[in-house]
Amino acid sequence: MAQEHTRFYTVSWDQLHRDAKALSWRLASSAPFEGIVAITRGGLVPAHIVARELDIRSIDTISIASYDDSRAVEARQGDAHILKPLSDGVGTGKGWLIVDDLVDTGKTGRIVRDMLPDAHFATVYAKPAGRPIVDTFITEVSQDTWILFPWDVDLSYAKPIIVQHGSAAPGQGG
């Protein structure tokens, strides 16, 4: 049965940058790494920040789709399938760092962990169901929380709690 999300946690670009940098600080004691495997798409931004902070130049990607509708606010997880495999040369992952934005149910992470059993797996955010498969993370959120990443949301007008008679929306006069 699909997990119902009763809470939302909105992450701004600034917050994601701070959290990815905190992940870098935490990983620094395990460095150096030969390279990073970013799990796309969500892991691209944190992987870039970690790569910069830890001076890692070699970055590979693996693309795994597990959500039925990536445009829905609460997309449903379906069967995971690899859209873009790893390049040759990563082997079992020894000396490599796997980076993703979030481990949720652990379905995607388990696929990558099975492919790279010797890699160090790090995520910025972790939910309880997926947490056991990662080695390092920064923030744990409850399983029923849907994280709204900065690439998932747009800035828009927010209606005031109380609207005085005659008030208008922006650009509507008033």
Instruction: Name the catalytic one among 101, 135, 152, 154.
Output: 101
Q: What share of the chain is helix, strand, coil (3-state, %, to 5)?
A: 25, 30, 45
Where exactly are the structural domains of the chain? 7-152
Whether 101 is a known active-site residue: answer yes
Alpha-carbon distance of 23 to 50, in angstroms, equals 7
Instruction: Name the catalytic one among 100, 135, 144, 154.
Output: 100
* pLDDT for residue 79: 75
Answer yes or no: are the C-beta atoms of 80 and 66 closer than 8 Å.
yes
Instruction: Name the catalytic one among 104, 114, 118, 144.
Output: 104
- Decide if domain 7-152 falls under CATH 3.20.20.70: no
Tell me what the mean pLDDT of segment 77-87 comes to: 84
Whether 171 shows a pLDDT value over 70: the answer reads no
Whether 127 shows a pLDDT value over 80: the answer reads yes
Terminal Cα-to-Cα distance of the chain (whole angstroms): 49
pLDDT (tens digit, 9 = 90+) per residue, 108-120?
A: 999 999 999 999 9
pLDDT (tens digit, 9 = 90+) per residue, 5-59?
A: 689 999 999 999 999 999 999 999 999 999 999 999 999 999 999 999 999 999 9
What pTM does this model have? 0.82
pLDDT (tens digit, 9 = 90+) per residue, 138-159?
A: 999 999 999 999 999 988 888 8
